[in-house]
Amino acid sequence: MEGSLVDNGGERVGRGNKVGYVRKGIGKKRKQLLRRIRRSDMTVSNTLQQLFHSCTEAFKGPATVPSPQDVQRLSQILDNMKPEDVGLNKDLQFFKPGNAVRENQRVTYTTVYKCDKFSLCIFFIPEGGIIPLHNHPDMTVFSKLLLGLMHIKSYDWIDPELSNDNLMQQPSQLRMAKLKADKVFTSSCDTSVLYPTTGGNIHEFKAITPCAVLDVIGPPYSKEDGRDCSYYKDHPCTVFPKKRIGEGKEEKDKDSYAWLEEIEMPENSEMDGIEYLGPTPF
């Protein structure tokens, strides 16, 4: 992250406040990985500006979803995004093997832009770091992996009628979900898009190598507006007895479902916030 980011020295937020990422001072070793550069030294990113202007047209506010045409346009822009568009490159210290800050595997994030309708955020996940399984209530999210190798697991809630068929077998405090993705992504992969009820709205990121992922989120999390972040633990359906989902399903399909248990905010979900000093989006 050398070259575009600096420590913001923000105040730490307690685990009870789920919305709003943790902001705190960053240790000496991590500061060495987050070296300063003045914005005046950055070239303007036409791609980032194009992304920003397209977002202003695509996101209309709460309770709305971008049109298929807007989704296609934003996906195409993000597919062409390069690390350099936000002041990053693969030779920066953070992304070099063996440079992980072992005593602090926390995820770091920086906000490129945020308004009531959408936000642009970059998440820096150290090798072995995790963003735990969490949801995006009433939100549409575009995720583009800029650098690194990352495993993504995602779920969607199943149709309530199908879930009701299994209520007698459903363990207390659990809800059934269908697995949408469980694979490794590289920076060459297409942008992933999740919607309020489809596309893998509940997901988990685990960095196999140091990663940088750009998220376009609309609208952003807001506890006041009912878009608080919830966290989950998944349990294989084979652990608990249940009726088969639907008629004529093959036995192999049982691996496509899981019970999700809502949990308190995990310790490894806390993040360090830093100021964005990369190319301006407008």
Per residue in 12-30, pLDDT tens? 333 444 544 444 445 555 5
pLDDT given at position 248? 47
**Which alpha helices (DSSP H) does 122-248 contain, by range?**
160-164
pLDDT given at position 9? 36
| Residues 237-260 pLDDT 10s | 764 444 445 544 444 555 689 999
| Residues 151-196 pLDDT 10s | 999 999 987 655 555 544 566 688 999 999 999 999 999 999 999 9
User: Is the pLDDT confidence value at 83 over 60?
Assistant: yes
Cβ count near 248 (within 10 Å): 6
Q: How confident is the model at residue 99 (pLDDT cuts 50, 70, 90)?
A: low
Identify which of 8, 84, 100, 13 has the alpha carbon closest to the alpha carbon of residue 43. 84
Q: How confident is the model at residue 282 (pLDDT cuts 50, 70, 90)?
A: confident
Q: How far apart are CA 155 and CA 174, in angstroms?
A: 14
Omega of the bond leading into 62 within 30 degrees of 0 (cis): no
Q: How far apart are CA 232 and CA 266, in angstroms?
A: 9
Mean pLDDT of 77-82: 97
pLDDT given at position 106? 87
| Residues 198-233 pLDDT 10s | 999 999 999 999 999 999 999 999 999 999 999 999
DSSP one-letter string for 107-139: EEEEEEEE-SS-EEEEEEE-TT-EEEEE--TT-
Q: How far apart are CA 181 and CA 257, in angstroms?
A: 11
User: Is the pLDDT confidence value at 109 over 80?
Assistant: yes
pLDDT given at position 267? 85
pLDDT given at position 41? 45
* Vertex 81 angle, CA 112 and 60, to 5°: 55
Q: Between 105 and 279, whose confidence is greater? A: 279
Write down the number of H helices and E strands in the chain.
4, 13
* Surface-to-core class of residue 220, CB atoms within 10 Å of its CB (0-12 exposed, 13-18 middle, 19+ buried): buried
User: Is the pLDDT confidence value at 36 over 70?
Assistant: no
The 3-state DSSP class for residue 53 equals helix
Contacts of 24-29 with C-beta under 8 Å, sequence gap 24+, read 24/272, 24/273, 26/108, 26/272, 26/274, 27/101, 27/103, 27/104, 29/101, 29/103, 29/104
pLDDT given at position 240? 46
What residues are paired with 6 via a beta bridge?
275
Mean pLDDT of 29-50: 61
Q: How confident is the model at residue 10 (pLDDT cuts 50, 70, 90)?
A: very low
Q: How far apart are CA 211 and CA 95, in angstroms?
A: 7
Mean pLDDT of 127-156: 97
**Cα torsion 42, 48, 52, 54: sign:** positive
Identify which of 112, 97, 79, 78 has the alpha carbon closest to the alpha carbon of residue 4. 112
Q: How far apart are CA 82 and CA 48, in angstroms?
A: 9
- The pTM assigned to this predicted structure is 0.82
Which region among 82-86, 112-116, 172-176 has the lowest average model confidence (pLDDT)?
Answer: 172-176
pLDDT given at position 43? 59
**Which alpha helices (DSSP H) does the chain contain, by range?**
28-33, 46-58, 68-79, 160-164
Query: In whole numbers, what is the pLDDT of the chain averaged over residues?
Result: 81
